[in-house]
Structure 1
Amino acid sequence: MNTPFYQLRFKQNIIREFTPNWFAVVMGTGVVALIMAHFPVASDLFYRLGFILWGLNTLLFSLFSVLYLARWLFYTNEAKQIFSHPTMSLFLGTIPMALATVLNGLLIYGINEWGEIAAMIALKLWYLDVLLAVLVGWIVPFCMFSRQQHALPNMTAMWLLPIVAAEVAASSGGLILNVAPHVPHAVSILWFSYILWGMSVLPAFLVLAILILRLALHQIPEKELAISSWLSIGPIGTGALAMLLLGQAAPHVLQQHSLQMLGHFLQHSGLLISLVFMGVGVWWLGLAIFATLYRFKLGIPFNLGWWGMTFPFGVLILALQQLAAQLHWMSLTLIVHSLMVVLLGLWLLVSLKTIRGAYTGQLFYSPCLQMWKQRQENSHS
């Protein structure tokens, strides 16, 4: 039976049961805050609301970071079990992606409020984000290959989480170069962002290919994991967004090195790649909607996985918005505005359910801790 939030003992319940999937809340809230800066109606009002929401999201990220670090400090042996859990370990990828929404908000909102200092802070956070994304992108797949048990029928799109973090960092690198083009080492940031894109998008498409095989052989995941279908949109939307932002910044950044022709090529190729990616993204979006509706009739229980709808959908909207702006495509702009409203309503729904689940204690549960306890009991019996 779940214990209400106000009855939980802080160290023994919240910290001990705190898991990295809580950072998905920061991801989903952060992408909504970024989108609100581009709302078409009552733009000043939504900009201020987005700034407030980004501030709240930054506080959430700080709180979750303290809680998760405290778990490693006070319950080290239990925290280490995450590397053996085939599902919870995947959510380590949400940590750098959550940090990316914080630093992106600093670029969009912070520069207007605090000036150049915000860009410098965002740049330092980007270096940290890249480090975390690369480490997670290496360590988690290696643990999958070496110490975890996986089977094709149990595969879901959550396999993408540790891989996609690097391309999210790449899109943040593109945003830095567009908003603050005179930051130190701009050319290095540009090239390294393309490398991050390659080490994320290409493996992600390999996973998506296997996922299609899994869906064809073993059908849609059970109702508890039905929402995970939305995660397939994430690497496609983020990959397109990164290409658009990096391509837009490339001509200016490379001009100082007499590489203007290469810069224009990167800009034009980014537009072409993003157009193709949007076609794939729309295809996966349709499948995700159908899968959700198919399982909805059975009742989809709420869990933190519901946040998997908001961030992938949000980055797809950001990519479409950037594509419409660069191509001056008015009809696509109208579609983007409609999708923004849908995302805002979806975020409100998931947020209210999360607040309720946190209050009742339902969401404070660590599967890797339960697996570790079960192993200990089996070893003593």
Structure 2
Amino acid sequence: MAQIITSDRQCTERTHQGQIVRHFTPNWFATTMGTGILSIALAQFPSQPDLFQAGQALWLFNILLFCTCSWLYLARWVFYPHEAVRIFGHSVASMFFGCIPMGLATIVNGLLIYGPAHLGSAAAMVATTLWWVDVVMSLVCGLVIPFLMFTRQSHTMETMTAVWLLPIVACEVASVSGGLLLPHLGSASAQLSVMMASYLLWACSVPLAMSILVILFLRLVLHKLPHAGMAATSWLALGPIGTGALSLFIMSQNAPAVLSANGLNTLATAIAGASLLGGLILWGYGIWWLAIAIMITLRYLKDGIPYNIGWWGYTFPLGVFAVATGRLATIVPLTPIAWLASALISFLGFVWILVSIRTVRGILNRSLFVAPCLAAE
């Protein structure tokens, strides 16, 4: 009898495990984005060692989380390839492929912040290798997913949401990592290559993302807010704005030294000033979208917001804008900007805890493992 019970239990566990793998989709990588950006945000307080240690612990946990998500999604392609391929025709689920390189980018950034204490000078080498991998993945997402939108998928103005931004924004997230990598590269020519690649990545993402925001504004005017299940998408617009501003702020600080080291001193001041001005404009634009996102969320809260894995969409956009605000505070010595950065990071911590608790519950009862491309079955 004990053997029968054990056998039944193992069979049930295999069935549950199979369902988890079968329904595992790239939107789970949003958990690595949200966790990663909080780990980076906590490093913005060097005078608070406890927060720095907490950020380091989150970064290490995020590495484990990213590896787990990667293993589960790879397993889906191995065991359920005919079902996994359906994602390319799904107009929403396919957008989340952008979450994979963006999640990896937070690990790269963490390597530059926390890695030297564990790996020494090897941290920069590992970060550089992973960054180039991230660049390739980001470019593939930014090209292939829009091409599928043009050729295979069905989209309408009424069903359009800010998830269109996800495959596009990956390139500018990689641009941020490239800017952070510059001081850690020993060769002047390598620095110049990474700097130019980072500006190119920014150009491949931010202008297109701003164009999508124009369409999103029109869609909201014509068709009002999407259903409550997509409530978190109201924050996604803040993502490319905050990331684009953060990239330019970092470049305004790090690019001049790279240009000078490569004999381009005459361009250093101009590039630094142009990057700072561009970042300021984007950051100011983000203030408007931040206010709108808060207002929309309060509107949704009146009727209730059902929990789904999309709630992680509240974390990363808020996080990158908070980190961008913190970076601006190091450039422009205005106390209100520093206060705003602290408030945003504190709010980010609260949101992360709330969403994490709900996610753990959803994992335990397996309610979150539903692949949209298989929902019709």
- Superposition TM-score tier, normalisation by shorter sequence: over 0.9
Distance in 2 (alpha carbons) for counterparts of 1:341 and 1:222? 28
Unaligned runs of 5+ in 2: 1-11
> Where do 1:145-156 residues align within 5 Å?
145-156=150-161
2:186 is equivalent to residue 176 of structure 1 = no
TM-score, length-scaled by structure 1: 0.93
TM-score, length-scaled by structure 2: 0.94
Distance in 1 (alpha carbons) for counterparts of 2:46 and 2:360? 29
| 1:92 corresponding residue in structure 2 | 97
| 2:144 corresponding residue in structure 1 | 139
2:50 is equivalent to residue 34 of structure 1 = no
Question: What is the DSSP-based 3-state SS (H/G/I as helix, E as strand, rest coil) of the residue aligned with 2:375?
Answer: helix
Question: What is the DSSP-based 3-state SS (H/G/I as helix, E as strand, rest coil) of the residue aligned with 1:152?
Answer: coil
> Where do 1:79-228 residues align within 5 Å?
79-180=84-185, 182=187, 185-228=190-233
Distance in 1 (alpha carbons) for counterparts of 2:337 and 2:240? 21
Q: Greater CA deviation, 118-127 or 255-264?
A: 255-264
| 2:29 corresponding residue in structure 1 | 23
Please list the CA deviations of residues 215-254 of structure 1 after superposition, one character each: whole Å capped at 9, or x if unmatched.
0000011111111010000000000011111221111111
Unaligned runs of 5+ in 1: 1-5, 374-381
Distance in 2 (alpha carbons) for counterparts of 1:159 and 1:40? 36
| Equivalent residue letter for 2:95 | L
1:18 positional shift: 0.4
Answer yes or no: is the 8 Å Cα contact 2:175–2:247 preserved in 1: yes
Distance in 1 (alpha carbons) for counterparts of 2:243 and 2:258? 21
Answer yes or no: is the 8 Å Cα contact 2:172–2:202 preserved in 1: yes
- Report % sequence identity: 46
Distance in 2 (alpha carbons) for counterparts of 1:256 and 1:60? 39
| 2:4 corresponding residue in structure 1 | none
| 1:74 corresponding residue in structure 2 | 79
> Where do 1:247-262 residues align within 5 Å?
247-262=252-267
1:37 positional shift: 1.1
| Equivalent residue letter for 1:309 | Y
Question: What is the DSSP-based 3-state SS (H/G/I as helix, E as strand, rest coil) of the residue aligned with 1:155?
Answer: coil
Task: Choose which of 350, 365, 369 in structure 2 pairs with 1:364.
Answer: 369
1:124 positional shift: 0.3
| Equivalent residue letter for 2:112 | L
Distance in 2 (alpha carbons) for counterparts of 1:40 and 1:259? 33
2:51 is equivalent to residue 46 of structure 1 = yes
1:310 positional shift: 0.6
Aligned residues: 366
Runs of at least 4 residues of structure 1 off by over 4 A?
Answer: 179-184
Please list the CA deviations of residues 279-321 of structure 1 after superposition, one character each: whole Å capped at 9, or x if unmatched.
1101111111111111111110011111111100000011111
Answer yes or no: is the 8 Å Cα contact 1:247–1:263 preserved in 2: no
Distance in 2 (alpha carbons) for counterparts of 1:183 and 1:72? 41
| 2:18 corresponding residue in structure 1 | 12
| Equivalent residue letter for 1:30 | G
Answer yes or no: is the 8 Å Cα contact 2:232–2:313 preserved in 1: yes
Distance in 2 (alpha carbons) for counterparts of 1:24 and 1:183? 35
Cα 1:222–1:8, aligned 2, differ >3 Å: closer, same or farther? farther
Answer yes or no: is the 8 Å Cα contact 2:312–2:355 preserved in 1: yes
Task: Choose which of 292, 297, 316 in structure 2 pairs with 1:287.
Answer: 292
Q: Which has the higher contact order (CA 8 A, sep 6+)?
A: 1
| Equivalent residue letter for 1:134 | L
Task: Choose which of 337, 346, 368 in structure 2 pairs with 1:341.
Answer: 346
Answer yes or no: is the 8 Å Cα contact 2:188–2:262 preserved in 1: no
Answer yes or no: is the 8 Å Cα contact 1:8–1:14 preserved in 2: no
Please list the CA deviations of residues 95-146 of structure 1 after superposition, one character each: whole Å capped at 9, or x if unmatched.
0000000111011100233211001000000000000000011111111111
Distance in 1 (alpha carbons) for counterparts of 2:38 and 2:251? 22
> Where do 1:265-344 residues align within 5 Å?
265-344=270-349
Q: Greater CA deviation, 153-162 or 337-346?
A: 337-346
| Equivalent residue letter for 2:70 | S
Please list the CA deviations of residues 75-98 of structure 1 after superposition, one character each: whole Å capped at 9, or x if unmatched.
111111000000000000000000
1:322 positional shift: 0.6
Cα 1:190–1:40, aligned 2, differ >3 Å: closer, same or farther? closer
1:263 positional shift: 1.9
| 2:242 corresponding residue in structure 1 | 237
Distance in 1 (alpha carbons) for counterparts of 2:233 and 2:113? 29
Please list the CA deviations of residues 44-64 of structure 1 after superposition, one character each: whole Å capped at 9, or x if unmatched.
111111111100000000010
| Equivalent residue letter for 1:36 | L
| 2:8 corresponding residue in structure 1 | none
| Equivalent residue letter for 2:121 | E
